């Protein structure tokens, strides 16, 4: 069944793209290293987004860099980079006080070589923690958190444009989540983390980042709004909020509703970033061609909402190709429903899908 659906998807991509995709085109006009995708004749995503003053971002992982197509396509299409896992706690501090920065260094250097902004992700999160963290008492945990934030943020001082300082602190009801060890420290831990990050790198813009806060009126959105509003009004050095935008096609707000919600957060004096965009195909009803068309429509809505709000400064897709999406992993894929998910702009062969051309057209105002 999977092979059959993939065949349908391949056929549909070809049918939707037609002759508009020219191999080895795009700008800068360089050779296509190792067959790295097919650029649109009207230019790359990063080029097309320039007049909008929005950054076009992608989450990258060092363990795929050995495939020459991967870094070449990323550098051509995007001007912002988020390390997918390389700056998380389990990667940077596997043992107490013993830090490892080599993987993060590699991505920061890659970004600098290709004129890409870097979004640091993430300093304090209840997932992907080193196991030793969960065994600490409250006093030890607070000390460990502050040390971790200081050491990691200062490592790339002046080289990280934005940090996701605290990630996913509220639950679906808008309360501090009970499955986070940091909740034991009380809500003040969030302000403490932001202050520590600001002290470590005063020039970095600091963000709170969360999922399912796209809809205007939901308990989680209200909880996130009150959280960042309180931080801002209390003088905590918070500069923005990240909306992850893991699209759920089974129930997703319209572009107008997302715009209205973004505008509400912007009125707090915050910058906005769409930080982890993907649109899982497996949750869209219909045949392969309809799935691809709907995927493009949903992604265009997300882009449209950002472009309509001046405070929305960037859009980051959570992965480069369907081949390497987190939704393709045995850990996360089955938890997110039917597959194959195929949620990104480029297929497993690094070719642009209809959703790529839809995003490109939205950026161009078409």
Residues designated as active site: 168, 276
Sign of dihedral through CA atoms 197, 198, 203, 204?
Answer: positive
> What residues contact 345, with CB distance under 8 A and at least 6 apart?
45, 299, 317, 320, 352, 353, 355, 356, 359
Sign of dihedral through CA atoms 154, 128, 115, 361?
Answer: negative
Q: How far is CA 261 from the centre of its chain?
A: 19
Element (H or E) spanning 13, and its range? Answer: helix 2-17
Q: Find residue 314's DSSP bridge partners.
A: 55, 273
Q: Are 168 and 162 in contact (CB under 8 A)?
A: no
CA distance 81 to 75: 9
- Find, among 100, 44, 98, the residue nearest to 74 by Cα: 44
Strands 55-60 and 312-317: parallel
């Amino acid at each position: 069944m999977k092979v059959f659906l993939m065949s349908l998807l391949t056929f549909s991509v070809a049918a939707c793209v037609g002759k508009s995709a020219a191999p080895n085109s795009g700008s800068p006009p360089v050779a296509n290293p190792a067959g790295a995708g097919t650029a649109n004749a009207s230019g790359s995503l990063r080029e097309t987004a320039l007049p909008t003053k929005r950054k076009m971002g992608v989450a990258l992982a060092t363990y795929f860099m050995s495939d020459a197509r991967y870094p070449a396509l990323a550098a051509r299409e995007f001007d912002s980079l988020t390390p997918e896992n390389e700056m998380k706690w389990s990667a940077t501090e596997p043992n107490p006080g013993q830090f490892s920065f080599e993987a993060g260094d590699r991505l920061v250097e890659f970004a600098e070589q290709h004129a890409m902004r870097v979004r640091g992700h993430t300093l304090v999160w209840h997932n992907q923690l080193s196991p030793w963290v969960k065994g600490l008492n409250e006093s030890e945990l607070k000390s460990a958190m502050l040390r971790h934030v200081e050491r990691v943020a200062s490592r790339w001082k002046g080289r990280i444009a934005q940090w996701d300082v605290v990630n996913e602190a509220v639950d679906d009801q808008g309360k501090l989540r009970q499955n986070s060890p940091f909740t034991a420290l009380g809500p003040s831990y969030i302000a403490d983390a932001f202050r520590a990050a600001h002290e470590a790198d005063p020039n970095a813009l600091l963000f709170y980042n969360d999922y399912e806060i796209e809809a205007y009126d939901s308990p989680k959105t209200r909880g996130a709004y009150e959280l960042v509003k309180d931080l801002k009004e209390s003088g905590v050095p918070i500069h923005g909020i990240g909306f992850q935008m893991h699209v759920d096609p089974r129930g997703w707000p319209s572009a107008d509703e997302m715009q209205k919600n973004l505008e509400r957060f912007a009125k707090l004096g915050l910058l906005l970033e769409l930080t982890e965009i993907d649109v899982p195909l497996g949750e869209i009803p219909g045949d392969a061609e309809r799935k691809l068309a709907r995927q493009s429509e949903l992604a265009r809505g997300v882009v449209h909402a950002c472009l309509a709000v001046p405070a929305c400064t960037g859009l980051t897709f959570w992965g480069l190709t369907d081949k390497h999406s987190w939704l393709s992993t045995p850990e996360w894929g089955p938890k997110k429903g039917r597959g194959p998910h195929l949620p990104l702009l480029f297929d497993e062969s690094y070719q642009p899908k209809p959703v790529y051309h839809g995003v490109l057209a939205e950026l161009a105002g078409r």
